[in-house]
Structure 1
Amino acid sequence: MTSGAEVLRAEDWDQWYGLLELAFGGVPAAPEERELYRRLTEPERSLAVWDEAEVVGTAGAFTFRVSVPGGRPAAAAGVTMVGVAPTHRRRSVLTTMMRRQLDDVRARGEALAVLTASEPEIYGRFGYGLASLRLSAEIDTALVRLTVPAGTEEVTLRRAEPRAALGVCEELYGRQVAGRPGMLARAAPGWEELGVLDPPSGREGASPLQCVLAERDGEVVGYTRYRTRPAWASGVPDGSVVVQDLEAPDPAVYAALLRYLCGIDLMRTVKLPNRPVDDAWQYLVSDLRRCEPRLRDELQVRLVEVGAALRQRSYRAPLDVVFEVSDAFCPWNEGRWRLSADAGGAACERTGAGPDLALSVRELGAAYLGGVPLSGLAAAGRVRELRRGALAQASTAFGSDVAPWLPHGF
């Protein structure tokens, strides 16, 4: 008989993490990765379900701050390491952990929970909504030209050892966080090492991680981290550059780094596996079709406390709207909420006034970072307009000038 979800004891971490590896296919993590996540794990925020002496369920949370529209970092639980033993599926183990976890998040005063899902359909029933997408591409550098902006020639590039450059790269990343919703402020010690984690078993035939810094007037202003994967086809170079990170504060720096990546000898393709949906490469290339752009789901957002969450962000246009919110899993969010907001901030309180829009907490989570329009959710039948004009007003106000983006998993 299984237990309830219990807080993880530090001495049980190895068994706990071993169950997670089993749930994700049974392949052990590289020793470097395993030790990093041992250090990053917050045992007091990690849950285990036991069947006698065996761990059969795992769930954890990292203490994060995530950028929201308006550039304000908001406290959020980064839900992670969720797994159920294959012998214990369909026995409410996951529901038990999600119940305990959201109760704990609320008790900590965090209004948001975020996650990435290995199987996206799972988490909607717990109130999570898909809030950001990732764009991937494979640029055929033999057939695609770049048109770069003025100032690109003023940027110089130099190679650096990834770990030696970690400090300056982390500083540059930190400057970018406030400018794009969905990015994580990596404040806790150890998270910076995720960017240079490079176990040979994870390279899939590619080189060790490489780093190039962009400089202007003697100052480091951008960087890229990548791997090269040599290949030949009928005696012709057919290698690929797999880009892990590309951080740049302005168009010239971005273009200089992208041009470098597209010009590496013996490489035919530049692979960008995770970029924002509004990323600049799309507007620099001569032929978008030969870049094979693709979208996939990324960050899911759950409003744990509706009122507090909606107060934590700003809005693109003035708004005064009453939401009728349904939330079967966290019933404390049920009911009517009046949101009065503008670019300076927001007030959101319970109200007895008549509703303007009806939706579930899942739709609010999807729209929260500004990348999913409420009007699109309404077109899918997931938001109902009860006052004419309210949908257009709310959809505009919730929008973001830049697309939300999660640069890396957790």
Structure 2
Amino acid sequence: MAVTSSALRGLVVALLLLAVASPLPAQETCTTSLYDAVTATDELAQLKTVIDLAGLKETFSDKSLKITVLAPNNTGFENLVSVLTSMNLTLEDTISPNNKAASILLYHGIPSPVFAKDLQNGATVSTLLGNGYNLTVNTTSGVKFVTPVNSASVVTADIKVCDSVVHIIDTVLLPAALSEIPNYVTPAAPAPQPAECTTSLYDAVSATKEFEKLKTVIDAAGLKETFSDKSLKITVLGPNNKAFDDLLAILSSMNLTLADTITPNNKAASILLYHGIPTPVLSTDLTNGTTVSTLLGADYKLTVDTTAGVKFVTPVNSASVLTADVKVCDSVVHIIDAVLLPGQLTDIPNYIPATPTASAPAPSRGVQEESVGNKLSSSMTVGFIGSAAAFIFALA
């Protein structure tokens, strides 16, 4: 008996569908999207065309989807076209201008993979169209999905496509009369996610030759952990090496060393906090004559002078910005030419680190900002300060 080409093609399609419907070993990586599966199935040729026209190719190409698709076959779309023709409409009229076709297609998606055996008579299932656009299940004779205006029977059930399931149906399901089908609104593109910060302020200081002495003081003052926090969003005024040389000369004239600012009261840590502004501030955002808060506390501010470049002024000295606006993730660094002092050395508040059980005590003339105090190292001990004092003599 001669076999016609159409019969042979039908046999091949049937075998392909049977193969897809058969249980397969779990795949570690999905290699076939729902769009791929629809494209490879002759019986769903018109469904593919409508997916393309409605602009949902990318949606159904997502291989991570875990949904159920009720896929109308070619006959289902031919019947829809006949209905549209009787209304003097074409399939294209469901696309422009309001893309109701996309809403109709979303009505054919169930948010989770559901096999035919799991469907119960009379149950309602949600759809990807949302907003109360549900389907009612009827299993009195096969499996049928019922809408407020029509219904569709499952022709081929339980076709696995990676983590999704496809049921081929014989009718295009309509959530309402054509005029009442909601317009499709293209989802807004997701906001770009900021790149993960890979460089802390401490990393940036460590990598900058001009900050060798700043790094040494950060280590000696016990603030390495604080400036290693990659979530910080602050401004750091970073004194260069020459700035610390100048400070050493001042201390030497007072018969002091930099180590004397560490032991016993760690005024060096307070001085370092005076070089931090609680928010990232670019030089272009600074206005002449304004005051800015510091991480040392509410009473310890800096005055901005922009009459010749950018300068930060304290009650006892000032520093000019040599290099501005160095971005370190969400923070900003300005390299300055002097170590800023919030007061005479004897008036600088002692630094007491925060502990896990108590907030950091207030400095002698102000209140440290709690958010910063909680970030400060709580592991400093008398023994550490003693070793740090010895370490800091290398600067003198």
- How would you bin the TM-score normalised by the shorter chain? under 0.3
Higher relative contact order (CA 8 A, sep 6+): 1
TM-score, normalized by length of structure 2? 0.20
TM-score, normalized by length of structure 1? 0.20
Structure with the larger strand share:
1
Structure with the larger helix share:
2
- Give 1 or 2 for the bigger CA radius of gyration: 2
